[in-house]
Amino acid sequence: MKYAAVTDQLAGLGSDKWILNTAAHKRAAQGHRILNLTIGEPDVPTPSSLIETACTSMQSGRTGYSNGRGEDSLLTALSARYSDRLGRPVGKDRFLCLPGTQTSLYLVFRALCEPGDEVILGDPMYATYEGLVRSSGATPVAVTLRPDSGFRLRAEDVEAAITPSTRVIFLNTPHNPTGAILRPEDLLALGEVARKHDLWIVSDEVYGDLTHDQRIYTSALANPAFEDRTIVTASISKSHAAPGFRSGWAVGPAEFCTRALPLSETMLFGSQPFIADMTAQAVASPPELARSMAARMANRARIIRDALDGIAGMRVTLPEAGMFALVDIRALSNDSVAFALKLLETTAVAVMPGASFGTALEGWLRVALNASDDDTADACARIRGFAEEYVK
């Protein structure tokens, strides 16, 4: 039987990226106690107040069809949130509500790109990005993010990669897996490149509320000079410890939302009203949960640095935001998948191999910061013992 070309284009870009997480769950199902530091899960359960809102909403009958743009209460809350943070009005007509950031990005690229187009993005990158771009028919063009530049995307590198086929500059700030935050001057330079070459800017900002040590995150929408070509996606999955509720949004020019709306409606025709009510409450609340989570995760990153940096040639890069720390194992191995699988088999510690995030992070590991301080320290002790034996 014949299949669409997209099935070939996405082969190997789905669950294959998460081989270590799959292996960890398999061993756990067999009765092993695994310290699983692979996935960026929040370290607390979804707040009971949000669950109660969703339940009350369901019980009151908010279980019918929604509209494709989003429930008015949520659109109002999003408009108020972005207007307050950007210091200028952001109308409700500039939002589309969707099930999580992943779906939002899928919609955005389907609306902006077609076969033959190119999308420039940083390498390393979140594991699903290549598939998101390719699903639109476009080709991802990777630009290396260098450790000596703080893993921040540089405008000069982007401009050097532009061709007549380039359609989008794809940003992720704060960045997964590196935790880097683009500075206002970075965003200004990238915006000028986008304007010079008439390109879209798409920015995944799901970790925006999870900055470490009072660092400041600036949205790609902050500069009004570029808002006519900028689309930002985010969700409550990380900031409000609600990944399973799949509630996110895209914010961009009103014309984009109008043109993309039929595509959104073709995909799913509206999210659940009771989840929209919960999300509206979350969006309207101060990000206290995210701040406390970020403080704990920043401390765990320091635990990892203090335990592993300099041991057997390993180097630890502290994140500026987000849920992960990076460990450079190039002094030990340039095959991060083999190293991580052997680490799991030997020590029952599961981490993500850098190769899952692009060629630039081969020889690195991504370590999640969502385990307790004690479990993080325990995992580090096991990694340290493994690395010292690995040298021998």
pLDDT of 255 over the 70 cut: yes
pLDDT tens digits for range 4-45: 988 888 888 777 788 888 988 899 899 989 999 999 899 999
CATH number of the domain at 48-284, out of 3.50.50.60, 3.30.450.20, 3.40.50.720, 3.40.640.10? 3.40.640.10
Q: How much is the average pLDDT of 308-334? A: 97
Reading the block at residue 317, the tokens are 């890069």
In whole angstroms, give the CA distance from residue 142 to residue 147: 16
CA nearest neighbour of 144 among 161, 131, 129, 166: 161
In whole angstroms, give the CA distance from residue 12 to residue 361: 18
Q: How much is the average pLDDT of 299-303? A: 98
Reading the block at residue 254, the tokens are 């009103």
CA nearest neighbour of 246 among 209, 271, 273: 271
Q: What are the C-alpha distances in Å from 135 to residues 8, 113, 204, 259, 323? A: 10, 10, 17, 19, 27
pLDDT tens digits for range 184-228: 999 999 999 999 999 999 999 999 999 999 999 999 999 999 999
SS3 4: coil
Beta bridge partners of 120: 141, 169
Question: What percent of the chain shows pLDDT beyond 70?
Answer: 100
pLDDT recorded at residue 174: 98
Q: Please answer whether residues 235 and 255 qualify as being in contact, where contact means their C-beta atoms are separated by less than 8 angstroms.
A: no
* Contacts (Cβ under 8 Å, ≥6 apart) of 343: 349, 350, 351, 383, 386
Residue showing tokens 């989840």:
275
Domain spans, the chain = 5-44+288-391, 48-284
Beta bridge partners of 97: 249
Burial class (CB in 10 A: 0-12, 13-18, 19+), 28: middle
pLDDT of 392 over the 70 cut: no
Q: Please answer whether residues 237 and 275 qualify as being in contact, where contact means their C-beta atoms are separated by less than 8 angstroms.
A: no
In whole angstroms, give the CA distance from residue 12 to residue 100: 22
Looking at CATH, the fold of the domain delimited by 5-44+288-391 is given as: Aspartate Aminotransferase, domain 1 (3.90.1150)
Q: Considering only 50-59, 197-206, 262-271, 318-327, which range has the smallest mean pLDDT?
A: 262-271
Cis peptide before 273 (omega within 30 of 0): no
Please report which residue ranges of the chain form alpha helices under DSSP H: 5-9, 19-29, 48-59, 72-86, 100-112, 129-135, 155-161, 184-196, 254-267, 273-284, 288-308, 336-347, 373-391
